[in-house]
Amino acid sequence: MLLRHTTPKEIDRQALTINPAKTCQPVGAMYAALGLHKCLPHSHGSQGCCSYHRSALTRHFKEPVMAATSSFTEGSSVFGGTANLVQSINTIFTVYEPDIIAAHTTCLSETIGDDMTAIIGKAKDDGVVPEGKHVIYCNTPSYVGTHVTGYANQVTSFVKSFSTATPKKKNVVNLVAGWMEPSDMAEIKRLAKVLEARTIMFPDLTGVLDAPMDGKFHMYPNGGTTLEDMAATGDSKFSIGMGPYSTEDACKTLENKCKVKFEMVDIPIGLKATDRFLMSLSRHANVPVPDEITNERGRLVDLIADSARLLYGRRVALWGDPDTLIPLTEFLVSLDMRPVYVVTGTPGKLFDARMKEILEKVPEAKFKSGERADMFQMHQWIKQEGVDLLIGNTYGKYIARDEDTPFVRFGFPIMDRSGHNYMPKTGYQGAANLVVQILGALLDHEDRTCSEEKIELQM
Amino acid sequence: MGMKNKKDLAKFRETVIEKYPNKVAKKRAKAIINNDPENIPEIQANIRTIPGIITQRGCTYAGCKGVVLGPTRDIVNITHGPIGCGFYSWLTRRNQTSTTSDADENFIPYCFSTDMQDSNIVFGGEDKLKQAVREAVELFNPKAVAIFSTCPVGLIGDDVHKVAEQMREEFDNKINVFGFSCEGYRGVSQSAGHHIANNELYRNLIGNDDTMVGSAKYRINMLGEYNIGGDAFEIERIFEKCGIQLVSTFSGNSTISSFEQAHTADLSLVMCHRSINYVAEMLETSFGIPWIKVNLIGADSTAKALRKIAAYFEDDELKAKVEEVIAEEMKDVNAAREAVLPKTTGKSAMLFVGGSRAHHYQDLFEELEIKTIAAGYEFGHRDDYEGRRVIPSIKIDADSRNIEEITVKRDEKRYKERMTKEKLEELQKQVDLEYNDYKGLMPQMEKGTLVIDDLSHYEMDKLIEMYQPDIFCAGVKEKYVVQKMGVPLKQLHNYDSGGPYAGFKGAINFYNDIAMMVSTSIWKEVKAPWEKEEMIEAVYAC
């Protein structure tokens, strides 16, 4: 047994987190920053963080993940990191020539209280920020919230730094993308195109963390929201924020700054969340939903109807980030599956409220968020009463093997499989991908473990 | 291949530093060396990283918790800090472990963290840490709990050593609780973490148990071997076959008791000199156990290491056994090597890895007739490049001055001279034991090759562009960067999930993996057919 020390016996833990269902802020800020064109993320802290965050993203995407660091030493940790950041900015613009440096902080620079505005101001005074180049930042203390919070903070900094309102609003809808895969963003952009809606997506990881191999290393790939588009978000007539945990802050900031009204929707994962997203986009972009999309929806409904008996009543444990868990749990319920255990390490009341509402039909369900809402807790619940399916990141494979439970990889990080960043989970097409993956996991397990006389040639 | 002309390599430093701001250029110039094994140049190493340069380096916590303590299966390692540090070091290094049954403790698949919140930063985290230790003990009932400090811990003044002591008392000294001041900002790299880990291993574990486990003949410690991809398993297999008793490995596939009994060995072998030379020295000073440098990466190097051990024990029976094992193992090794040489001979490699592998793996590449044209460490010190002879001339700078140096005294009760100095020196003359010595990476590399410390992304990019190596060796952050350029990258930290690469079987694995990498078909498909010129001409010809 891999997790041989995990037993069903729970104690009331007050201090110890075991096998977290979250990580810390800066990796989210780094990820989001890569969604701006010609932007280099910068970690203002000691260099270990930056290496860890780059490695985590690289392991997930199997793609280059570039970022620089202030490389604090003990001296700068005591006397402040001003000189480090100013020197970083100089080195980065001279050697790596980005258009934008998007800095974030760590628990180190936050604890010592480095004043980022002042330091960046000093860098400008010192003349190390070339004409037309930008240094933006967000505060991302690792001891507050999680990686999702860091993502949200970085997206908000884009708005603070670049969104500009001119007197003329344009018939454009901002699509503020919560933490999802590049493939998910691509799928959402495809849907918007089919609707003929004029949109600006930010951040936009497509083309960045799913870049082609062409024999050259492109430090700044073709993808990413451009500075022009980012500035233009202030002139859009509306914003749709996908995933309240990762985008609500940015939407509110944009409303306050540029008077762009907004609506929050879930990341369009599953049937109903996609329905709501499309209706929101259709309404705010003032475009009808074409038959092509209605047909896509119909195909998904068809697939679910065809597979219903295999999904009905199956108990599922899932873990991950609230913005994806909420629509995913809702989708599972709409498949008549029973999401009995749901944990996210990311704190917040919204998750609890939405779960309560979504899981009304699953009275036995347990869910938890925030500190100590970890995979150890979830595994203890599984030990008490088992499940038919696990859905979550790579760390679930240890539970899947110990408990001999079918497992679908979903969320961040997925380090032990490749290609997941090419396959969307959003939209009707993404929902179909998910159903196919779920069925595959359930049926493969059935075929492997049932008695020989029960082997079925057909569904 | 770019290595047709050695003069090319000489151009590298000048070309690359042109791009840097003046101050940066001045500093980097001292870390980029055109090697001369006859007259080894001084390299700048183990100094602070240049901010913004895009380094490969990590931090002290990674060197301490991630590298040295991570591989021991029966210690509950609690990260005292916000969640990230614990999360990123959770199973990400492939230090394997093997237990005999499910009844044995194995905490490696778990991540334990105090998950500090802002209130812990403001009011201190000691109470939460104590409670976390209690909860870990209640749930996991371990023999030992180790506490690792992260960046904010030192800044807010939490005293992990005091907490550890209080917890030991609370558990009536039945559970060994100890702390590490391995905050990420200490030192300039992972290296400081190794040193801190070594000190605390010595203070809290080494020498705690005088039990002599196993055979009394040929008792050795394997220092600086972390069982990545099962390397230590292969080494264990070879030693067992030779009848050599492995008392402890620091720290691949290790347990607390193996550390506690390490002082009962008669010889220490040092693999990764950088991470463990401190323990090697302390074991010699305290208990009289001499250490020699070995390399078990490469079949010939493994044979050489076994012969050194046999020479040290001065035992004909062992010498004969070792020769027998080598002869037997080399049959398969030679067959595997012959099979791949047509694919590998004459190719070129570049190696930029941690603090030892950039050197060790050159032996394997030599066996494949692949030439290493550039190499360097992330966090090696000058002695790892130039050899230990330069240690007296190394100046510890302000950034590393606060890394604790512990003074170790002879353990009067248990010190035992294993071999007189005179005898060791005599042996040293007969066999190149590398007793108390490590010659470093530079003497092995040819004249005119490049040695670069703390390679930056920019330098890597230029190296590949200018010299087009057939294979590049580094880590996960570099892997996909290099492969986008059409050059295969072998990860020498995690072996791309492969391994073992140590010992004889490991050499065979490596030969096959490298042959696969330099002959994978997909590299020929990087350009689409319609982007190739001859295609366009062909269209016109129609």
Q: Looking at A276, A292, A308, which one is the last position of a domain? A: A292
B-proximal residues of A, 48-107, CB under 8 Å: 48-49, 51-56, 58-59, 62-77, 84-85, 87-92, 94-96, 106-107
Looking at the partner chain, which of B54, B129, B132 has a beta carbon nearest the beta carbon of A66?
Answer: B54
Give the mean pLDDT of B179-196: 98
Residue of B nearest to A346 (CA): B83
User: Is the residue at A256 inside a domain?
Assistant: yes
Any chain A CB within 8 A of the CB of B114?
Answer: yes
- Mean pLDDT computed over B12-30: 97
Confidence check: pLDDT of B346 > 70? yes
- From the list A16, A54, A74, which residue is nearest B185 (CB)? A74
Round the average pLDDT of chain A to a whole number and report it: 98
- B374 part of the active site: no
CA A173 to chain centre: 21
Whole-number pLDDT of residue B540: 53
* pLDDT tens figures, B131-156: 999 999 999 999 999 999 999 999 99
Let me know whether A144 and A217 are in one domain.
Answer: no
Share of chain A above pLDDT 70, in %: 100
Predicted pLDDT at A336: 98
**Given this model, what pLDDT does residue B2 score?**
43
Same domain, A277 and A342: no
pLDDT for res B9: 87
Enumerate residues 305 to 364 of chain B having a beta carbon within 8 A of any beta carbon in chain A: none
Long-range residue pairs from A379-384, CB within 8 A, at least 24 positions apart, any chain: A379/A3, A379/A6, A379/A19, A380/A6, A380/A7, A380/A8, A380/A9, A380/A10, A381/A317, A381/A340, A381/A341, A382/A317, A382/A341, A383/A6, A383/A7, A383/A8, A384/A8
Task: Work out the average pLDDT over A358-387.
Answer: 98
Question: pLDDT band for position B539 (50/70/90)?
Answer: low
Say if the Cβ atoms of A87 and B52 lie within 8 Å: yes
Inform me whether the C-beta atom of residue B480 falls under 8 Å from chain A C-beta atoms.
Answer: yes
In a domain, A16, yes or no: no
Q: What is the pLDDT of residue B534?
A: 61
Cβ pair A143:B82 closer than 8 A: yes
Minimum CA–CA partner of B482 in chain A:
A217
Does residue A42 belong to the interface with chain B, where contact is any CB pair within 8 Å?
yes
CATH of B60-184, one of 3.40.50.10800, 3.10.450.50, 3.40.50.1980, 3.40.50.720: 3.40.50.1980
Could you tell me if A153 and A194 lie in one domain?
no
Provide the total of helices (H) and of strands (E) in chain B, helices listed first.
Answer: 22, 14
Instruction: Mark whether A76 and A93 lie in a shared domain.
Output: yes
Q: Stretch B41-62: mean pLDDT, rounded?
A: 98
Q: Is the CB of residue B95 less than 8 Å from the CB of residue B252?
A: yes
- B1, pLDDT greater than 70: no
Give the mean model confidence (pLDDT) for residues A372-377.
98
Handedness of CA A211, A214, A219, A221 (dihedral sign): negative
Domain stop point among A139, A162, A185: A162
Q: For residue A168, is pLDDT > 50?
A: yes
CB contact B46 to A (< 8 Å): no
A409 and A425 in one domain?
yes
Q: Is A208 in the same domain as A157?
A: no
Q: Give the model confidence (pLDDT) of A410-447 as tens digits.
A: 999 999 999 999 999 999 999 999 999 999 999 999 99
On whether both A379 and A240 belong to a single domain, the answer is: no
Distance CA B530, CA B88 (A): 43
Nearest to A398 among B105, B109, B136 (CB): B109
- Model pLDDT for residues A99-149, shown as the tens digit of each residue: 999 999 999 999 999 999 999 999 999 999 999 999 999 999 999 999 999
The answer on pLDDT for A237 being more than 50 is yes
Position A137 in a domain: yes
Give yes or no for residue B107 having a pLDDT over 50.
yes
Mutation target to probe the A interface, by most A beta carbons within 10 A, among B115, B489, B526 is B115
Q: Does B123 touch chain A (CB under 8 A)?
A: no
The domain that contains A367 carries what CATH number?
A: 3.40.50.1980
B62 is a catalytic site residue: yes
A302 and A264 in a common domain? no
Per-domain residue ranges for chain B?
60-184
Question: What is residue B537's predicted lDDT score, i.e. its pLDDT?
Answer: 52
Candidates A168, A330, A131, A388; CA nearest to A260 is A168
- Cβ–Cβ gap B58/A52 under 8 Å: yes
Q: Is B93 a catalytic residue?
A: yes
Give contacts of A 173-212 with B, CB under 8 A: 211
**Domain span holding position A240:** 170-292
Question: pLDDT tens digits for B471-509?
Answer: 999 999 999 999 999 999 999 999 999 999 999 999 999
- State how far residue A27 is from chain B, nearest Cα, in angstroms: 9
CA angle A353, A357, A358 (to 5 degrees): 115
State whether A274 and A325 are in the same domain: no
- Do residues A43 and A95 both lie within one domain? yes
Over residues A303-340, the pLDDT tens digits come to 999 999 999 999 999 999 999 999 999 999 999 999 99
Least Cα separation, residue B415 to chain A (angstroms):
37
Distance of residue A432 Cα from the nearest chain B Cα, in angstroms: 30
Q: Which residues of B touch A397 (CB under 8 A)?
A: none
Supply the pLDDT for residue B7.
60
pLDDT tens digits, B225-259: 999 999 999 999 999 999 999 999 999 999 999 99
Give the pLDDT confidence score for residue B532 in this predicted structure.
81
Looking at the structure, do residues A247 and A198 belong to the same domain, yes or no?
Answer: yes
On whether residue A93 sits in a domain, the answer given is yes
Q: Is residue A182 part of a domain?
A: yes
Question: pLDDT category, B6, cuts 50, 70, 90?
Answer: low
Query: Looking at chain B, which residue has its C-alpha nearest residue A394?
Result: B91
- Does residue A339 sit in the same domain as residue A400? yes
> Of the candidates B129, B457, B476, which has its C-beta nearest A58's C-beta?
B476
Partner-chain residue, chosen from B49, B128, B185, that has the shortest CB–CB distance to A108? B185
- A319 to chain B, minimum CA–CA distance in Å? 15
Q: How many domains does chain A have?
A: 3
What DSSP state is assigned to residue B369? T
Supply the pLDDT for residue A241: 98
Instruction: State whether B51 and A46 contact (CB < 8 Å).
Output: no
